Amino acid sequence: MESYLSMKNISKTFGVTGLKANDNVTLDVRRGEIHALVGENGAGKTTLMNILYGIMQPDSGTISLNGKELKILNPIAANKAGIGMVHQHSRLVNEFTVAQNVVLGAEPKKAAIFFDNRKAEAEVAAVIEKNRFHISPEMKISEISVGQMQQVEIIKMLYRKAELLILDEPTSILTEQEIQRLFDTLRELIKRGKTVILITHKLSEVKDISDRITVMRKGRIVSVKDTADVDEREISKMMVGKSVIFDFAKGEEGCRETVLSLEKVSIRKKRQGHPILDNISFNASSCEIVGITGVAGNGLTELEDVIAGLQKISSGSIYHNDEDITNISPKALRERGLAYVPTDRLKRGSSLDTSVKENLILTSHHDFMKRCGVFDDNKISEHSRRLISEYKIDGHSDVPIGTLSGGNIQKVILARELDNVKDFVLFSEPTWGLDVASSEFIYEKMLEMRARGVAVVLISSNIDEILTLADTIFVMYRGRLVAGRASGPDLTREVIGEYMLGLKDDFRGEE
């Protein structure tokens, strides 16, 4: 079949890190299909689509649509060519109504100068009806759900007469029903002759909705298949590559003593109907790695912030060595010996314009004072030299940490946090976007902590990571824990996947 969209030999390298986000990528999409673009985090999917939508320019390569070569310099050019993109995070103006957001930039007018709100609502209502959306054009964005916001984004593109729709991870923040509704919409659009590119890393969805699949790994295309010809296992293998099998022994059970415990922790926000965290209870003990997993948007981030003391809880209690530490300040928590490797390495975990040396002393700078109250520079340099060699950090201690590669930034954070760990450490998405060597290094450090008797909590949306490392596994779904079991041969990838999607729930009905 003739290809509708063809992106040929696209390459894109990012300045500072030198990361090859797209390496000679060639993508073909046929008219009227739902084409899934899959791959792990950091595989280069979003970069490729940003190039197609004119948000980024490729270093090399060509794009043609309907056999005509195109230069897409910006999103307006993309819109004109009939390409529309729905971003992962909604790009809407909260104060405006649905109709106002949809027509923004292409507003209907009356008397030549005035915004014609009535006409806008009528036109948007027509698009909504034609494509069978369930939303009212007069509603304000601040009053609608995340799933509806996504519908608005799609309507926005349809209003602009998009023929090819790109959806970037559209399901990651949606509930199951919303996902089904979205898929119905997509099928409806295909019937009307539109073409859809769906970026995702969720395999069940790919199987469910797509016609063809392109798999990306580390900036390259590794496979293009008809969906009907492959099963999820095969796709998964292609996504991860020859997966390095980490086979680590589990922790001893003999020395376990509760270090941290959460009891019925909940967070409620005024405007949200359901709680963001809902009655979370678990213990983390010495000599144990507790793994907590779930799909993004189900409360992992909030749980991370709660354990780190950066987010207050509405109800429940948290104990550290049987002492109540509910809602104490981050400072007090640090004084109790919290070590924490955060998800957001660049904004929270490090201060990019500050030197490696100064990043390394964030939590321990009080220990480097001379008696006269002034920093002991020799001691600080020695400290940073020791950590740089101990953690094999490739970088000088006096350069801004922002000039280091992602893996090395993470090692600096690791070095700072683990160097004076006491009895508890929290890791959140520690290997997200890192290469295998760095990941392996981090895993070893984590196991070393456990061997030293430290209680380790690992929050990760990477199931394999959880399966290989955790002694006890919890799964979160819509702010609740739906599973909490010791890891074992019965707890497979598939079983965890079922919990993650809310298909299984061990605690339903329990209060």
Partner 1 sequence: MKVNRSDMFVTAIALLITLSAAFMVMLVMIFIMSETPGETLFYFFAGPLTNKYYLGNMFNSAIPLILTGLGIAFAFRSSMFNLGGEGQVYAGGFAATAVCLAMPAAGAFFGITVSLLAAVVTGAVIAGLSGFFKMKWRTDELISSFLISNALIYIVDNFITGPFDDPGNNLLTTSKVAEQFWFNKIFPPSNLDISIVFVVIIAILAFFYLFKTHQGYEMRMCGVNPEFARYGGINVGKYIMLPMLWSGALHGLAGAVYVLGTSHACFKGFSGGMGWNGIAVALIARNNPIAVIPAALFFAYIEAGAESAMINADITIEIASIVQSVVFFLITAQAIYNFLKYRRKAV
Partner 2 sequence: MSSEGFSIPIIHNSISIMTPFLLAAIGGLMTELSGMLNIALEGLILIGAFFSVIFAAATGSLLLGILLGILMTILVSWVFGAITIYLKANVFITGLATNLLASGLTAVLSFHIFGTKGVLMFEELPPLPSLNVPPLHKIPVLGDIFFGHNVFVYMSWIIVVIAWFAIYRTPFGFRLRGTGSNPKAMIAIGLNPQNYQMLGILISGFTCGLAGAVLTLNLGAYVPHISSGRGWIALVVIYLGGKTPFGILGAAFVFGLAESFSNYAQGFIDIPADFILAFPYIITAAAMVIMSIVQNRNED
Point out which span in 109-117, 170-178, 297-305, 322-330 binds partner 2 (CB under 8 A): 109-117
Quick check: 113 binds partner 2 (CB under 8 A)? yes
Q: What are phi and psi of 380, to 5 degrees?
A: -65, -45
- Total interface residues for partner 2 by CB under 8 A: 28
Nearer to partner 2, 91 or 396 (CB): 91
Least separation, in Å, of the C-beta of 99 and partner 1?
A: 34
Pick one of partner 2, partner 1, none as the site partner of residue 347 (Cβ within 5 to 8 A by kind). partner 1
Kindly tell me which residue out of 61, 108, 400, 433 binds partner 1, with binding defined by CB under 8 A.
Answer: 400
Pick one of partner 1, partner 2, none as the site partner of residue 114 (Cβ within 5 to 8 A by kind). partner 2
d(CA 146, CA 153): 11
Contacting partner 2 within 11-70 (CB under 8 A): 54-55
Tokens of 453: 């008797």
How far, in whole angstroms, is CA 234 from its chain's centroid?
23
Tokens of 164: 């090819």
Q: Which of 32, 292, 296 is nearest to 169 (CA)?
A: 296
391 and 415 in contact (C-beta within 8 Å)? yes
**What type of residue is 225?**
K
Least separation, in Å, of the C-beta of 418 and partner 1?
A: 15
CA angle centred on 366, ends 361 and 370, rounded to 5°: 110
Q: Which of 487, 469, 457 is nearest to 262 (CA)?
A: 457
Query: Residue 472 pairs with which residues in a beta bridge?
Result: 290, 486
d(CA 367, CA 101): 54
Sequence-distant (≥ 6) Cβ neighbours of residue 151 within 8 angstroms:
133, 134, 135, 182, 185
154 and 135 in contact (C-beta within 8 Å)? no
Kindly tell me which residue out of 365, 386, 422, 452 binds partner 1, with binding defined by CB under 8 A.
Answer: 365
Quick check: 107 binds partner 2 (CB under 8 A)? yes
Quick check: 430 binds partner 1 (CB under 8 A)? no
Least separation, in Å, of the C-beta of 14 and partner 1?
A: 14
Least separation, in Å, of the C-beta of 124 and partner 2?
A: 14
Q: What are phi and psi of 508, to 5 degrees?
A: -60, 140
Nearer to partner 2, 16 or 93 (CB): 93
283 and 472 in contact (C-beta within 8 Å)? no
Helix, strand or coil, per DSSP, at residue 169? coil
- Total interface residues for partner 1 by CB under 8 A: 35
Least separation, in Å, of the C-beta of 466 and partner 1?
A: 24
Nearer to partner 2, 109 or 130 (CB): 109
Contacting partner 1 within 300-359 (CB under 8 A): 308, 310, 329-331, 333-335, 338, 340, 342, 347-354, 358
- Say how many C-beta atoms besides its own lie within 10 A of residue 366's C-beta: 7
How far, in whole angstroms, is CA 146 from its chain's centroid?
16
Least separation, in Å, of the C-beta of 270 and partner 2?
A: 10
Contacting partner 2 within 66-85 (CB under 8 A): 74-79, 85
Nearer to partner 2, 97 or 462 (CB): 97
d(CA 328, CA 323): 11
Nearer to partner 1, 251 or 349 (CB): 349
Least separation, in Å, of the C-beta of 74 and partner 2?
A: 6
Pick one of partner 1, partner 2, none as the site partner of residue 107 (Cβ within 5 to 8 A by kind). partner 2
Pick one of partner 2, partner 1, none as the site partner of residue 358 (Cβ within 5 to 8 A by kind). partner 1
- Say how many C-beta atoms besides its own lie within 10 A of residue 404's C-beta: 23
Kindly tell me which residue out of 363, 381, 405, 468 binds partner 1, with binding defined by CB under 8 A.
Answer: 363
Least separation, in Å, of the C-beta of 511 and partner 1?
A: 34
Contacting partner 2 within 152-191 (CB under 8 A): 156, 160
Least separation, in Å, of the C-beta of 464 and partner 2?
A: 33
Q: What are phi and psi of 75, to 5 degrees?
A: -60, -30
Nearer to partner 1, 190 or 328 (CB): 328
280 and 262 in contact (C-beta within 8 Å)? yes
Question: Which residue intervals of 95-202 are DSSP H helices?
Answer: 98-103, 117-130, 146-159, 176-191
Kindly tell me which residue out of 374, 389, 510, 511 binds partner 1, with binding defined by CB under 8 A.
Answer: 374
Tokens of 336: 């109790």
415 and 360 in contact (C-beta within 8 Å)? yes
Contacting partner 2 within 307-346 (CB under 8 A): none
The site for partner 1 (CB under 8 A) is made up of: 308, 310, 329-331, 333-335, 338, 340, 342, 347-354, 358, 361-363, 365-366, 369, 373-375, 377, 396, 398-400, 403
Kindly list the residues in this chain that would bind partner 2 in the complex (CB under 8 A): 54-55, 74-79, 85, 87, 91-96, 100-101, 104-107, 109, 113-115, 156, 160
